[in-house]
Amino acid sequence: MKNKYLKGAHLSERKFKEILRLFADDLTATQIANISGVSRVTINSYLKKLRQQIARYCETLHPVPAPILSFEPRQLVSAADNDGETLVAVKTEVDKVVKPVIFGICRSGERVHTEILPDVTRSMIHAATRGRSVLETQSSSERLRKYNGVVDLGQYRLYRLGQSTDSHQMDDVDAFWGLTKHRLAKFKGLNRNTAYLHLKECEYRFNYRNEDLFNALIELLKIYPLSLS
């Protein structure tokens, strides 16, 4: 079936656009499946492909090292969402055992960019916020300095960094974290291996918040169509 946005799919272009519009409206996979009549397994597969393409696009605007997210069964924390992507809770009582997902936020021009920081620890964040010189001996100190803020998803908390006097810059960082916090709370937790994709989706949604997201996604997929092969 011909579909210039989704190569190799047994799905009409019209039906795919319906799914894409529901995604743009920020519905969950279960909601999209119920409305569209397409199975949740298929919807989850399409949404993962879409999020991967969004992440690739974001990386072209702000290249970062590939995220290194270790995965072990004991690192999973179950949650009560039913979309199949709910294994690492955003905030848990066992965050001393589960290695937290930590990411940096920086504003460049009119855009906000994010990067997962697998080698940054809570003690390093605390040292950075207190301006302690111990950071001078840490290999990640330079990376931390380029961010306006760092988020510890295990504690569900944004730490402000830097000495920026640009209040508009920090307002955008706060607004981005507000959007991200709201979206992650809606999912009630994430799979550790897909946290990066959801983070990049939040980045994309925030940077296109003043535009029609559906049209922006259509233009993106015209250039970078999805493929099931």
Mean pLDDT of the chain: 78
**Residue scoring higher pLDDT (205 or 146):** 205
Return the pLDDT at 63. Answer: 72
- Termini Cα distance of the chain: 14
* Side-chain-facing half-sphere of 38: CA atoms under 13 Å: 22
Nearest to 213 by CA among 201, 221, 205: 205
Report the distance separating Cα 23 and Cα 95, nearest Å: 31
As a whole number, mean pLDDT of residues 218-228 equals 90
Return the pLDDT at 120. Answer: 85
Yes or no: say if 8 and 46 are a contact pair by the CB < 8 Å rule: no
Q: What is the pTM of this model?
A: 0.79
- 138-178 pLDDT, tens digit each: 555 566 778 889 999 888 899 988 655 567 778 899 999 99
- 13-41 pLDDT, tens digit each: 999 999 999 999 999 999 999 999 999 99
Return the pLDDT at 87. Answer: 35
Domain residue spans of the chain: 6-227
Task: Identify the DSSP state of 211.
Answer: S
Helix (H) or strand (E) holding 150: strand 149-152
**Residue scoring higher pLDDT (220 or 97):** 220
- 43-81 pLDDT, tens digit each: 999 999 999 999 999 999 887 655 433 333 333 333 333
Task: Indicate whether 97 pLDDT > 80.
Answer: no
